[in-house]
């Protein structure tokens, strides 16, 4: 078998949901719940958390409908939920089951509400279950005030996504040149509309326009996406929050479309980019001029690291 067939640059975690019951062996005393959907925005918060706490928890995919909390309660001493948009209504069954069955001390870290424009929101009883998990957690960090207000959370620290701790390792690879990056997501825009937007962007800049769907492939894992696409760009145009988070964590100006309120709240709190509606974007003539006028403030890494210190101490208890 050739080396090219063996090579795989994708970052993957030890995920117990992928194993049959007889093969599940704990390799850590901490279990972390995350979304395994193949978008790097679901993986970089885990990598940031691992960098800060200097340990690699076992993981369990939050999409699994048969999470074995009996196994988890018997084999682990601590649980971490996060990060990313784990407060999408599609995860309501996880939060119900966690509230009812998990007996472990818990930290919730870097999560945020995710309510796309077409969503009808959370059912009242499901919101109560989320509040119950939050109220019983030892430490809570969320990405924005919208999450706090929507679930009426009383004990939350608000700070940037832990992704930015992971991104700090990539600052040395940052060599902005005549490149602009279009960061898109298929669930936000159809492929046809995304292609139209990509061609529009090309008419509004003198830079070479790169693009990424933020998905890992065998020959293009997270590190290559960040080094070869984000770090080479002087501006990021994104249809999704995590494209803006990557740009923010790397100190790159960004333009993001307000497809939901979490994007608006992110830009309001952390700055370093602009929110522009798609209709307004149609009227823009010169993206390079806009890029030059975006003020870049200091990346709020200390906020993430300070919460991380608390988590690291908690893991020793």
Average pLDDT over the chain reads: 94
pLDDT band at residue 1, thresholds of 50, 70 and 90?
very low
Query: What's the average model confidence in pLDDT over 283-295?
Result: 95
Q: If you write DSSP's letter for every residue of 132-198 in order, what string do you get?
A: HHHHH-SEEEES-HHHHHHHT-SS-EE---THHHHHGGGGGG----SEEEEE--TTTS-HHHHHHHH
- pLDDT above 90 for 315: yes
State the CATH class of domain 166-292: alpha beta
Cα 133 to chain centroid, rounded: 20
Highest mean pLDDT among 100-114, 115-129, 257-271: 100-114
- The pLDDT assigned to 177 comes to 82
CB 103, CB 73: distance < 8 Å: yes
**CA–CA gap between residue 111 and residue 4 (Å, rounded):** 37
Q: Is the pLDDT of residue 126 over 70?
A: yes
Average pLDDT on 187-199 reads 87
Structure tokens at 107: 């930290």
pLDDT at 313: 98
| Minimum mean pLDDT range among 46-50, 188-192, 246-250 | 188-192
Instruction: Name the class of domain 3-159+301-314.
Output: alpha beta
On the 0-12 / 13-18 / 19+ scale of CB atoms within 10 A, 291 is buried
Classify burial at 93, counting beta carbons within 10 Å of its beta carbon; exposed 0-12, middle 13-18, buried 19 or more: middle
Q: Which residue would you say has higher pLDDT here, 230 or 258?
A: 230
Same fold, 3-159+301-314 and 166-292: yes
pLDDT band for position 2 (50/70/90)?
very low
pLDDT higher than 90, residue 186:
no
At residue 117 the predicted structure's pLDDT band, cuts being 50, 70 and 90, is: low
Domain boundaries along the sequence of the chain: 3-159+301-314, 166-292
Q: How much of the chain exceeds pLDDT 90, in percent?
A: 86
**pLDDT for residue 260:** 82
CA distances from 186 to 165, 193, 235, 263 (A): 26, 10, 21, 17
CA gap 241, 246 in Å, rounded? 9
């Amino acid at each position: 078998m050739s080396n090219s067939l063996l090579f795989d640059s994708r970052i993957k975690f030890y995920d117990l949901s992928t194993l049959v019951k007889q093969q599940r062996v704990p390799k850590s005393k901490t279990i972390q719940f995350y979304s395994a959907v193949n978008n790097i925005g679901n993986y970089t918060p885990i990598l940031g958390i691992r960098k800060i706490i200097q340990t690699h928890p076992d993981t369990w995919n939050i999409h699994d409908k048969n999470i074995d909390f009996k196994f988890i309660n018997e084999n682990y001493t601590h649980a971490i939920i996060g990060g990313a948009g784990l407060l999408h209504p599609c995860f309501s069954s996880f939060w119900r089951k966690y509230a009812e069955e998990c007996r472990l001390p818990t930290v919730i870290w870097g999560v945020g509400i995710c309510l796309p424009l077409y969503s009808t929101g959370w059912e009242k009883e499901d919101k109560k279950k989320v509040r119950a998990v939050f109220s019983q957690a030892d430490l809570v960090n969320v990405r924005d005030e919208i999450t706090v207000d929507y679930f009426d959370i009383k004990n939350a620290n608000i700070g940037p996504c832990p992704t930015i701790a992971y991104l700090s390792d990539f600052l040395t690879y940052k060599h902005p040149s005549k490149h602009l990056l279009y960061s898109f997501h298929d669930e936000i825009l159809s492929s046809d509309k995304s292609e139209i937007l990509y061609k529009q962007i090309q008419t509004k800049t003198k830079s070479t326009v790169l693009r990424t769907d933020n998905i890992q492939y065998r020959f293009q894992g997270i590190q290559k996406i960040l080094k070869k696409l984000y770090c080479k760009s002087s501006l990021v145009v994104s249809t999704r929050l995590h494209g803006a988070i990557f740009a923010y964590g790397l100190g790159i100006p960004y333009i993001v479309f307000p497809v939901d309120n979490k994007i608006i709240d992110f830009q309001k709190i952390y700055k370093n980019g602009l929110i522009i509606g798609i209709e307004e974007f149609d009227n823009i003539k010169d993206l390079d001029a806009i890029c030059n006028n975006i003020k870049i403030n200091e990346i709020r890494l200390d906020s993430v690291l300070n919460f991380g210190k608390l988590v690291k101490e908690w893991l020793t208890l």
